[in-house]
Amino acid sequence: MASTTYLVTVSGPDRVGVGAELFAALSSLSAHNGQLTDVAQITIRGALVLCAEITVDDSVTPQMVSEALHAHHIIAQGISATVESVQPSDSADGRRLLVTLLAPTISAEQLNGVFRAIAESDATCERIVHLASYPVNCYELVVRGADHAALREGLTTVASQLGLDLAVQRAGLHRRSKHLVVMDADSTLLQDEVIDLLADACGCAEEVSKVTEAAMAGEIDFAESLRRRVALLEGLPATVIDDVRAKLRLTPGARTLVRTLRRLGYVPAVVSGGFLEVLEPLLRDLQVEHYEANRLEIRDGKLTGQLSGDVLDRAGKARALQRFADEVGVPLEQTVAVGDGANDIDMLSVAGLGIAFNAKPLVQEHADTALSVPYLDAVLYFLGISREEIEAE
């Protein structure tokens, strides 16, 4: 028998029991092969919009659906309902993208630009979720369109023009299955560059800082730059490591990020071009179990100006991410990498989602998305984790 699909829209002041009444009404159509095919709801400040899509035999008319709604007392106390015939929806996630918008504040003008870009790509927005209102604003959009390349390009361009951080990802449960989140340490997990703090202790801060900046911008090879900087530390007493560790400052939101990841079943990890002797106690305090960093050579209680073992460079960071993924048991597409420097580029490129955190333009070009806000826990929004979930201790 032929079938018809109806969209039932219930709207008005929210009250207890509306959902139960709607689904009871739709259940009463089961004798006509009624099949619920989609449901969506939003409530803003007590104003309800609840939609349900049901497919039934052709014998069922809009009037019959309306009578079922009246029979179950939905249309009362200011609530109204409409019934309209629609084409069956295509629920295949392959045509959907998740678009995450993030900024300190998001204006109607900015949203206008985003929605214009969506329309110009011949796409539509199916759902909007407000993930956070502080310390930044974040919206997640479910967008449907046939030309994903054009949609990504249009959204990326307009986001840059409007000052929005934006991530575009394929929709589906796999997004919530990214079980491994690998972070750089210096200027990502930490506000500081550890090598610069060590340089302060030996009186060569200016020289080391220049080499550090050139390395992070990709102007010189990271491994060579690290050896040059470490060589300047020769003769420092090993006790300086404890002094430097005491000065380390976590990036705002770093502790919240790690704590939330662990509580929700994700695995946080750190891969650093810095030094294990400085970082390891801090990572243990954060309960980060997967980490790798360079090692300083120490003899007779002093730094020799050399490294112990191979340099953990750009390629080494990517290999560490792959090894952690193997240990955790997840494919690379279910990993996230977060970093700020040129030596993070390979790691950002191989991860399922690469996030450039307050990074140089060169690094942003190789990442899937960029964060320009100073809060590291904003990474959670790109995983679809709301502020409410973050604070649900």
Q: Which residues are catalytic?
A: 184, 186
Between the alpha carbon of residue 389 and those of residues 129, 263, 363, 392, the distances in Å are 14, 10, 30, 5
Token digits for 13?
């002041």
CA gap 131, 101 in Å, rounded = 10
CA-based torsion, 161, 162, 164, 166: positive or negative: negative
Nearest partner of 207 among 231, 188, 187, 190, judged by Cα: 231
The amino acid present at 391, given as its one-letter code, is: E
